[in-house]
Structure 1
Amino acid sequence: MATAQYRTLLEQIVHEGPWTVEETCRAYEVRAQQMHESATLSPRQLARWMRGDVGQARPVAQRVAEAFWGHRFEVLLGSPHELSEFERHSGTAAPGPSVDVESLEAAAVMAAHESFEHAARIAGTVDSDDISLLQESVLELARGYQTKPPLQLLTEARHIRNVAYLLLDKTRRPAQTSELYQVAGQACGLLSVVAFDLARWDAAEEQARSARTYAELIGDADLETWSRGTQALIANWRRQSRRAIDLIASSVDDAPAGVSTARLRAIEARAWAELGRPDQVKESLRLADVEMEQARYNELYGASGGEFGWGPSRHAACAGTALLTVGQGETAVTRISDAISLVPEDPLGGLAPARAQVDLAAAELVAGRFDASVDALDSVWTIPASHRRRGITGRMDQLAHRLVGRDWRDSPQAVELRDQIEVFNAEAAFRLALPSA
């Protein structure tokens, strides 16, 4: 189509791109989320922009539009021109950070969620295939947790939970009700971890309690134990370590043997470490190691469960964190190094290697090896800002705090590393408000 038939460059880009107007609006809003801007775009508003009829477009809307389409806003509303092959294929005005593959995938996922939720809403009965799809989806999300940014995980886990709610309203069959409560509980569990990763402690606690309630309703001991352990982990990060220990004590006797109990004991060790009790740390880790030795993994909560999993790598990393906290640098280096080396053999055990790398850097620092500490961080600096979870940035803050200690405060290299950590954390995506879930 000749460019003269278009009124604006924006109209040309949209019409010659691969998306419908509705898909373009969804992708625009995804881009706004990635930029942490509060901007929406309706098909009607986009149509006005395409005509050049803008009126008083908000500055935030213009900023997102410029990042999304790759031109200044006034250029988008100006005369069309010959589009490059990239522009014609992608629907954007320039390569680079405008609309990346992640944005395209997120728009497709959003569209699929809308279709599934609408179908669930209008269906007269509950199809067992829909329940199976939800069960598969929550497991897939748990397994792929570390590969997605928290805000995307928030959207997907919330979708799974909401569809489970819709279907629960449509069935009275006990078997279906039990399955849906389990899905809802698992989704709330993942939402709890997302809120934790965004440092939204109250939201994390509420979601963990909800997960535990659903687990109690259906007698899912593994999910109940996992939820209680997550509550304890949240409490420990909130500097409520005594409460964390109480939560563990109230559930450990009823927890399934093996990985579920091992996780509780490892979290308990970290709480004792925060309280400065190395003797109790040693005993909790001993009990945790005994449970891991006799572990029998089940499908979701064992080594195949991703974020729900507790494989050997994650177990060793958690032990290393506890030892690091009580100042046992050499022993911590050994356990954390073991954890990192186990990752290839334990791909679904739930360990986020970046967290272990930060802990390794801190342990090397405690052991007096600054250069080894710097080397341990090599892979951490490349983490995209949107993936920098609280478990990473919180550890980086702790590492920075160690760098102001007596041994390093006058070191120019330490000062430079502290500055680098400050910039790294300042860029983290989770600094923004968490949307309601």
Structure 2
Amino acid sequence: MTRIERWSGALACLLQSAAGMTNEGFAGWLGIAVRTVAYWHSRPDTVPGNSNQELLTAALERVSDSARERFFRMVAGSDAEIPRAGNAIVEAVSDAASFVANDPLLAAGSIGDDSIESLQEEMALLARSGGMAAFDIFATARRLRDEARKLAERTRRPDDLANLYVIVGQGTALMASTAFDLGHWNESAALARASTQYADLAGHASLKAWTYGLQMTLANWRNEPDAALTYFARAIRKAPDGEPKLRLRYIASRSHALLADANSVAEVLQAAQRDRELSASRPDELSASIGGEFGFGEARAAACAAAAWLDLQNGEQAAKCAREALQVYESQPAARRPYSQINGTQIDIAAAHLHMHDRGGAAEALRGVLDLPAQKRNVSLTGRLAKVEGLLTMPPWDKDSEAQHLAERIAGWLAESSARPLA
């Protein structure tokens, strides 16, 4: 069995389970209402309407290979039946139920606290969904941002507007980050600037600091460290003490490394230690309430430091920091592990081993990365791996036959990836 000709509510729920998603996450991934997913759970024999049939079929095609295999194993071991096509009564009733569940009139009433809270909860779930592919995050963030904008157009209550501007800013920030992962540089930069403006409208200092950090990160990836440090100087003056400043300093360490300024790297990391101490007594609102992509824990701090030491060609320090990051990432529950950060850290470990003249260690670090499905090979990963490929073309590896074999595997991986590294 390689496809489902006709979906039932039970089969849809099995796909959700195989993908490891909550009702909110599954609904956001499909682009439907949460109540539709809840309806499938309560009525497993129902047959989704034609539009949802197409969405489910497309979703099955784009899940990871392991999730797809798990789904078909679950189907084979369950009592769920595949409904037959062509039953006009079933289709009519199912289409009607699906339409009512997604009726735009239900969203046309006055704004209630539950509407804003629902968007806040969905945004938090999206920010924590480290296993989703970049485009799925982009599409869901866009939907949540657009829903928040529509609500903002219907209210004049200052508190509601502030909360909705925060949601719009968060959604725009996630769109900027994933647009970069998808290879759209100019659009990513424009979205990042807009997210800073929304954060300013909301008066949300933590979100504004986060969006400035995003602009710094994008500038670093474009190899524009001076621009990144300009953003840093602007942001550090107004960022809240604790985690927001901690994150900005770690990103700045990468900027100084790109300028080959080892002394400034050491100084900014030392200053970050003071921010770390403050963060213990001053929890950051954004990190505490949302977390995930909007958090900055020990893993991301160590990963930033690893990237800085790599730019300075200090393999020992880079490997030490990268392994610290990987240990924290892999200690998280499987559903929360961010695949992009984990694989990016493995690539950094490989680069560190090459700087330490250890080809075997580099190959071992890349083993899982080179098996990553094409749809999960984002720009962050392709950019890092392209740098490893570049190291393999230089002495002492350019005359090493096994190193050249590894370089050929990397070249094939990059050629099969839709997201191209930033030149």
Scaled by the length of structure 1, what TM-score is found? Answer: 0.73
Matches within 5 A, 1:347-366: 352-366=341-355
Does the CA contact (< 8 Å) of 1:120 and 1:166 recur in 2? Answer: no
Q: Is the 8 A contact 1:303 1:309 kept in 2?
A: no
State the 1:218 CA deviation.
1.9
Change (3 A) 1:290 1:24: same
Amino acid at match of 1:323: W
1:218 is matched with which residue: 188, 202, 222? Answer: 202
Comparing both chains, which one has the higher relative contact order based on Cα–Cα distances under 8 Å and sequence gaps of 6 or more?
Answer: 2
In 2, distance between residues paired with 1:179 and 1:356? 35
Correspondence for 2:120 among 135, 140, 146: 135
Q: What does residue 111 of structure 2 align with?
A: 126
| Alignment check: 8 A CA contact 1:273 1:326 kept | yes
Match of 1:316 among 284, 287, 302: 302
Give the match's secondary structure for 2:368: coil
Cα deviation for residue 340 of structure 1 reads 1.5
Question: Are residue 326 (structure 1) and residue 355 (structure 2) matched?
Answer: no
Aligned residue identity for 1:256? P
1:172 aligns with 156
Is 1:22 aligned with 2:16?
Answer: no
Q: 1:349–1:378: structure 2 CA closer, same or farther, 3 Å change rule?
A: closer
Which residues of 2 match residues 19-418 of structure 1 at below 5 A?
Answer: 19-27=48-56, 89=81, 118-119=104-105, 123-144=108-129, 146-295=130-279, 296-301=282-287, 305-344=291-330, 352-418=341-407
Task: Answer yes or no: is the 8 Å Cα contact 2:216–2:228 preserved in 1.
Answer: yes
Which deviates more, 291-300 or 394-403? 291-300
* Distance verdict in 2 for CA 1:339–1:32, change over 3 Å: closer
Q: 1:309–1:349: 8 Å Cα contact kept in structure 2?
A: no
Read off the aligned partner of 1:134 and give its amino acid letter.
L
Q: Distance in 2 between matches of 1:261 and 1:417?
A: 39
Equivalent-residue separation in structure 2 for 1:229 and 1:15 (angstroms): 44
Superposition deviation, residue 299 in structure 1: 4.9
In 2 relative to 1, CA 112–373 (structure 1 residues): closer, same or farther, beyond 3 Å? farther
CA contact (8 A) 2:207 2:286 kept: no
1:334-392 per-position Cα deviation (integer Å, ceiling 9, x unaligned): 11111212235566797821111110110011011111111111221232221112111
Q: Equivalents in 2 of 1:89, 1:220: separation in Å? A: 50
Q: Distance in 2 between matches of 1:324 and 1:242?
A: 19
CA distance in structure 1 between the partners assigned to 2:255 and 2:300 by the alignment? 17
- After TM superposition, give the deviation of residue 34 of structure 1 in Å: 8.1
Distance of aligned partners of 1:387 and 1:242 in 2 relative to their CA distance in 1, 3 Å threshold: same
Q: CA deviation at 1:24?
A: 2.7
Instruction: Report sequence identity in percent.
Output: 30
SS of the residue 2:287 aligns to:
coil
Q: Is the alpha carbon distance of 1:33 and 1:125 closer, same or farther for their aligned partners in structure 2, counting shifts above 3 Å?
A: same
Q: CA 1:172/1:115 → structure 2, altered by over 3 Å: closer, same or farther? A: farther
Indicate the residue corresponding to 2:19 in structure 1: none
Q: Deviations over 1:38-87 (max 9, x none)?
A: xxxxxxxxxxxxxxxxxxxxxxxxxxxxxxxxxxxxxxxxxxxxxx999x
Could you list the runs of 5+ residues in structure 1 that have no partner in the other structure? 1-11, 36-83, 93-110, 433-437
1:98 match: none
> How far 1:15 sits from its partner (Å)?
9.4
In 2, Cα distance between equivalents of 1:221 and 1:297: 13
Please say if residues 247 and 296 of structure 2, whose CA atoms lie closer than 8 Å, have aligned partners that are also in contact. yes
Is contact 1:185-1:211 (8 Å) kept? Answer: yes
Closer/same/farther in 2, CA of residues 190 and 312 from structure 1, 3 Å limit: same
Corresponding residue pairs, total: 353
Q: Secondary structure at 1:250's aligned position in 2?
A: helix
Deviation, 1:316, is 0.7
Q: Which amino acid aligns with 2:119?
A: L
User: 1-side partners of 2:301 and 2:206: how far apart?
Assistant: 17
TM-align CA RMSD: 3.2
C-alpha contact 1:302 1:310 (8 A) present in aligned 2: no
**Structure 1 residue 125: Cα displacement:** 1.0
Distance 1:299 1:112 in 2: 38
Paired residue secondary structure (1:363): helix
Is the alpha carbon distance of 1:117 and 1:323 closer, same or farther for their aligned partners in structure 2, counting shifts above 3 Å? Answer: farther
Q: How far does the alpha carbon of each residue in 1:230-252 deviate from its partner, in whole angstroms, 9 at most, with x for none? A: 00110111121110111101111
Larger Rg computed on CA atoms = 1
Distance 1:358 1:420, change over 3 A: same
Q: TM-score, normalised by structure 2?
A: 0.76
TM-fit CA distance, 1:288:
2.0
Matched residues in 1 for 2:286 and 2:224: separation?
Answer: 29
Task: Specify whether residues 425 and 113 from structure 1 end up closer, same or farther in structure 2 by C-alpha distance, changes over 3 A only.
Answer: farther
